[in-house]
Amino acid sequence: MSLLEKSVNIIKGIGPKKTELLAKMNIKTLEDVLYFYPRDYKTHPKICGMKSVISGEIVSLCGKFEGKPKLIRKHRGLSILEWTATDGTGEVTCIWFNQPYKARQYNTNTQYYIYGKAVRFYGKVQIQNPIVEEYRPSFHNVERIEPIYSLVEGLTQNDFRNLTQNIIGIIEENIDEDLPEIIMRKYDLAGKAYALRNIHYPQDQAALEEAKRRLIFGELFLMQLALHGQREKRIKKKNGLLIRWDNDAMADFVRKLGFHLTGAQTRVVGEIFRDLKSNVPMNRLVYGDVGSGKTVIAAIALYAANLDGYQGVLMAPTEILARQHLETLERLFMGMEVRVALLTGSMAKREKDRVKELLSNGEINIVVGTHAILQDDVEFHRLGLVVTDEQHRFGVRQRATIVQKGKKNPHILVMSATPIPRTMALILYGDLDISVIDELPPGRKPVKTYHVPSSMRSRIYAFICRQVELGYQSYLVCPLVDESQEIDAESATEMFNTLRKGPLSNLRLGLIHGRMKADEKEEVMSSFQGGNIDVLISTTVIEVGVNVVNANLMVIENADRFGLAALHQLRGRVGRSKDQGYCILIADANSDNARERMDIMVKTNDGFKISQKDLELRGPGEFLGLKQHGLPQLKIADLLRDVDILNETKEAVEEIMELRDYEYKNAILQRAYSKFNRSMGEVVLN
């Protein structure tokens, strides 16, 4: 066992109680301590003469106390202790509140190091609650940076510094370099032991910066390298299904879509075709903003597999979307020999069993469902392609689950409208190939967005009525009351009843929310789709994917309760044809953050810009929930702040992947995997 794997209690001063407190911080071994980086630092500047002290600055001084300390007792046990020190150039008065014992700790014969914030008070310089230590020239007369850690109650900074100081003393012999030498040299990176020492006890500011850079670089590099290594393994295995199809049949299908594919769609289809025809299992993310036409791309890919006798899966995040996809596919494959079926959690057991049976004997060609079908004991006759729609939260873990469904590795296509800033995509989808649909179908107009206060509600209702008169339909999304669907459903129902009796009594209203039974939801959605409902009052169940082309108005109540990503998705439900779409955000936005979000929505329709802003407002951790991706939390790197280093690591990873010396490269990759898998816990990539 390496010394670093030993328990913290081998350090003097760490007894059972402190061991327990450390365990609360998830710190058990010396190694855990070493990788628990300071939250901040305290800088002790070089010593200056007392005469040249500037009020308001943190200063380091050296001097002797003079005369007797003065203790002033106030009522209720409060006390103030004053003692003046001098260094020959000038003097400062040290002041301690409620620490009368300090008078006994120091004397007038000793040179002291005095540290604290200088304040001028009636012409005299004071330092309140200074740090006073016996002066040691070699230690005190240089700039020193002290670590400050985030600790639980009961542990002091000194306790923890005692730990880190002890460990720093032994790291040189116990730390292995984990970055390849060529990379360290090229990017001028410090050694790991040096970085760890200086992240805790920086020699000076420059050393601290160097240490940070080295550790951030290491973290980002190793994570990306592990993901890229996985990708390469997949590619190397060449165990993908070679799919071949009849080009004429495909051309015929594309011709009958009812529109021409956009240039971007054509390009992406080409990229997918290349994957399907190769012996490498596809693992591709298709990113396209809301309304860019991803569904048809899924249909084309599924059809390609089908033409070669392979089954396909299309997974959606919600039941409503799954049903819509079912209808779309049924329409596209009408009159053709492609049998499409639905499989969702809410279906009756008998129905489900029937679908499963037909899937396992190959009678069903394409199954559409929610990802609940992943958990079920679904078996396929000849699975060739799995498409997941609107699943940016579709992590490494889930991808591994699906792959196991096929006897051979099926091809995987992930579609998402959640634009992930490029920097994040590098990390999250390092093991995926990415295609971007960067073009909307022709004639689309940007949705006009307005932010209005709730006091204007009656005018909004008038606007809804006018749109209905013009032959359009509207969505009205009720406030997100709570995480609970129950309460959201209640508020939507209430809104529905109020509007039906009052302001919108002349219109045909529909209600949909998550608490309704699946077939009730289906009835409402198909009624809305068929134009038999003018205004659909809804919760966020319609947030993603829903495509009712004739709906041109989206009204969102209490819009400030929604995050930017959700607002962008909701707005994406309209403006899906050549006609002008509108989005009205009702919000009495009080906080700056809320106002900023509304402003962004009004100003731009660009999903990338919105997500970048979302990332800034929420921070990377929240933004995507790194954990849900099955990826480890970053310890020191910050995807927002460290973009420059991230770009360097990306380049560095590419350099390693291109190495010809396979043995050397493999050794580097193995090291990255072991690190990566350890921090990923039970998630093991295959």
Q: How far is the CB of 172 from ligand ADP (least distance, A)?
A: 55
Q: Helix and strand tally (H, E) in the chain? A: 26, 22
Q: Which two tokens stand for residue 227?
A: 């993901």
Task: Choose, by CB under 6 A, the member of 208, 276, 296, 322 that binds ligand ADP.
Answer: 296
Closer by beta carbon to ligand ADP, 80 or else 549: 549
- CA-based end-to-end distance of the chain: 28
Closer by beta carbon to ligand ADP, 291 or else 395: 291
Task: Choose, by CB under 6 A, the member of 29, 60, 126, 265 that binds ligand ADP.
Answer: 265
Closer by beta carbon to Mg ion, 229 or else 572: 572
Q: Could you say whether residue 576 binds ligand ADP (CB under 6 A)?
A: yes
Closer by beta carbon to ligand ADP, 284 or else 294: 294
Q: How far is the CB of 355 from ligand ADP (least distance, A)?
A: 24
What residues are paired with 509 via a beta bridge?
Answer: 535
Q: Pick one of Mg ion, ligand ADP, none as the site partner of residue 207 (Cβ within 5 to 8 A by kind).
A: none
Amino acid at 609: K
Closer by beta carbon to ligand ADP, 272 or else 504: 272
Q: How many CB atoms lie within 10 A of CB 49?
A: 13
Q: Pick one of Mg ion, ligand ADP, none as the site partner of residue 291 (Cβ within 5 to 8 A by kind).
A: ligand ADP
Q: Pick one of ligand ADP, Mg ion, none as the site partner of residue 261 (Cβ within 5 to 8 A by kind).
A: ligand ADP
Q: What is d(CA 167, CA 173) in angstroms, rounded to the nearest whole number?
A: 11
Phi, psi of 120 (to 5 degrees): -85, 130
Residue least distant from ligand ADP (Cβ): 293
Within 8 A by CB and 6+ apart from 224, the residues are 426, 427, 430, 649, 650, 653
Closer by beta carbon to Mg ion, 294 or else 371: 294
Task: Choose, by CB under 6 A, the member of 223, 417, 426, 512 that binds ligand ADP.
Answer: 417
Closer by beta carbon to ligand ADP, 63 or else 545: 545
Listed residue (27, 25, 36) closest to 7, CA to CA: 27
Q: How far is the CB of 254 from ligand ADP (least distance, A)?
A: 10
Q: Pick one of ligand ADP, Mg ion, none as the site partner of residue 202 (Cβ within 5 to 8 A by kind).
A: none
CA distances from 584 to 449, 558, 627 (A): 6, 11, 34
* Residues touching Mg ion, count (CB under 5 A): 2
Q: How far is the CB of 259 from Mg ion (least distance, A)?
A: 16
Q: How far is the CB of 648 from Mg ion (least distance, A)?
A: 35
Looking only at residues 435 through 454 of this chain, which bind ligand ADP when binding is defined by CB under 6 A? 441
Where do the DSSP E strands lie in 106-196?
112-121, 124-128, 131-134, 144-148
Looking only at residues 223 through 262 of this chain, which bind ligand ADP when binding is defined by CB under 6 A? 259-262
What residues are paired with 354 via a beta bridge?
Answer: none
Q: Could you say whether residue 292 binds ligand ADP (CB under 6 A)?
A: yes
Closer by beta carbon to ligand ADP, 130 or else 288: 288
Phi, psi of 227 (to 5 degrees): -65, -40
Amino acid at 560: D
Judge contact between 130 and 81, C-beta under 8 A: no
- Centroid of chain to Cα 277: 33
Q: What is d(CA 463, CA 278) in angstroms, rounded to the nearest whole number?
A: 53
Q: Pick one of Mg ion, ligand ADP, none as the site partner of residue 296 (Cβ within 5 to 8 A by kind).
A: ligand ADP
x-or-dash pattern for ligand ADP, window 186-225, by CB under 6 A? ----------------------------------------
Looking only at residues 283 through 322 of this chain, which bind Mg ion when binding is defined by CB under 5 A? 294
Output the CA torsion sign for 632, 633, 638, 640.
Answer: positive
Q: How many CB atoms lie within 10 A of CB 256?
A: 11
Q: Could you say whether residue 545 binds Mg ion (CB under 5 A)?
A: yes
Q: How far is the CB of 579 from ligand ADP (least distance, A)?
A: 12
Q: Could you say whether residue 264 binds ligand ADP (CB under 6 A)?
A: no
Q: Is 530 exposed, middle or buried (0-12, 13-18, 19+ CB in 10 A)?
A: exposed
Closer by beta carbon to ligand ADP, 571 or else 576: 576
Q: How far is the CB of 417 from ligand ADP (least distance, A)?
A: 6
Q: What angle do CA 292, 522, 412 make, to 5 degrees?
A: 45
Output the CA torsion sign for 186, 187, 192, 197.
Answer: positive
Q: Could you say whether residue 418 binds ligand ADP (CB under 6 A)?
A: no
Q: Are strands 283-288 and 448-452 parallel, antiparallel or unpaired?
A: unpaired
Helix%, strand%, coil% for the chain, nearest 5: 45, 20, 35
Q: Could you say whether residue 549 binds ligand ADP (CB under 6 A)?
A: yes
Closer by beta carbon to ligand ADP, 130 or else 581: 581
Q: Could you say whether residue 632 binds ligand ADP (CB under 6 A)?
A: no
Task: Choose, by CB under 6 A, the member of 293, 419, 479, 575 that binds ligand ADP.
Answer: 293
What one-character-per-residue DSSP string does 8-22 give? GGGSTT--HHHHHHH
Task: Choose, by CB under 6 A, the member of 126, 164, 295, 449 that binds ligand ADP.
Answer: 295
Task: Choose, by CB under 6 A, the member of 22, 30, 290, 412 that binds ligand ADP.
Answer: 290
Largest CA-CA distance found in the chain, in angstroms, rounded: 104
| Residue entry with tokens 């990708």 | 231
* Residues touching ligand ADP, count (CB under 6 A): 18
Contacts to Mg ion by CB under 5 A: 294, 545
Contacts to ligand ADP by CB under 6 A: 259-262, 265, 288, 290-296, 417, 441, 547, 549, 576
